[in-house]
Amino acid sequence: MPNLPKRKVGIISCSGEELDWGTVSRVATRLVLERLRQEQTVTLCLPLFLAGGKDERAFARFYPTIAVDGCPKLCAAKATAAYSAEPAARVVVSEIAARYPELKLEARRRLGPGGMTLARKVAEEIAARVDEILGSPPQARTVRLNEDAAAEAAPVVACSCQSGGLPVTMVEVAGSPVAIVALGPIMEQIAALNGMADEELRDKLLQTVKVYNAIPAEQEAQYAEALWREFAARRAQR
């Protein structure tokens, strides 16, 4: 069987600096990544996503994502849907905050005890969505956040990029090196297809690579040629 990358969930947090709920969304995301579901999640940087980060967009197409937004404007969810794929789940801080009116936030950059408790509630909701998506039972090693005093000291940062996890292969396309995401596992999948003519394999290879990589329409023929050259070279070594 091809060695496809381990399935993870990508968490995309909104980057709002204007609202304290935006801060809560980022703190909650970090709590999930660093404490609740370390092994099952990675984060994707929304500003990089919007700027056209190919790895980020490819990841969001390849893996299920959870958009974590501060308010009903749903910036992260909309960006994910527009640039990559519909998120598998959405978590909106303002909706969770409405359930706990007693939890008051101190300030945008310093959440205080009420804000940190709200961030923990949001983090637990995100973790529950991760478990649903991966079809796994609640994690036995879940850290009880309300017992973890260190969480209060967690820095508030706007960007906590830890994206990655997909193998990238450099391929020369029309004389220029280009990073192709997930090419290794894709080629293994294609090589495992028995009974197909080379022409069909070549087309299948291109179509599969296009699922995970943005290929300019005007360069499709060059990409097809480069990918097939790479595939043929690997096949000859088998």
- Binding-site ranges for ligand SF4 (CB under 6 A): 14-16, 18-19, 21-22, 69-71, 73-75
**Closest CB to ligand SF4: residue number:** 16
Report CA-CA distances (Å) from 221 to 70, 133, 202, 206, 224: 43, 37, 11, 9, 5
- Among residues 93 and 190, whose Cβ is nearest to ligand SF4? 93
Q: With CA atoms as reference, report the closest residue to 24 among 161, 163, 156, 160.
A: 156
Provide, rounded to whole angstroms, the least separation between the CB of residue 16 and ligand SF4.
2
24/58 with CB nearer ligand SF4: 24
From the list 83, 84, 58, the residue with the least C-alpha distance to 180 is: 58
Instruction: Give the nearest distance from C-beta 115 to ligand SF4 in angstroms.
Output: 14
Closer residue to ligand SF4 in complex, CB, 71/127: 71
Q: How far is the CB of 110 from ligand SF4 (least distance, A)?
A: 17
* Shortest distance, position 159 Cβ to ligand SF4, whole Å: 13
Instruction: Give min distance, CB of 74 to ligand SF4, in A.
Output: 6
The residue among 27, 39, 32 whose CA lies nearest residue 11 is 32
When the beta carbons of 80 and 213 are compared against ligand SF4, the nearer one is 80
Identity of the residue, 2 or 47, whose beta carbon is nearer to ligand SF4 in the bound complex: 47
Residue that has been written with the tokens 């909106």 in this structure: 92
Separation of alpha carbons 96 and 119, rounded Å: 10
18 or 106: whose CB is closer to ligand SF4?
Answer: 18
Kindly state the smallest distance separating residue 80's Cβ from ligand SF4, in Å.
12
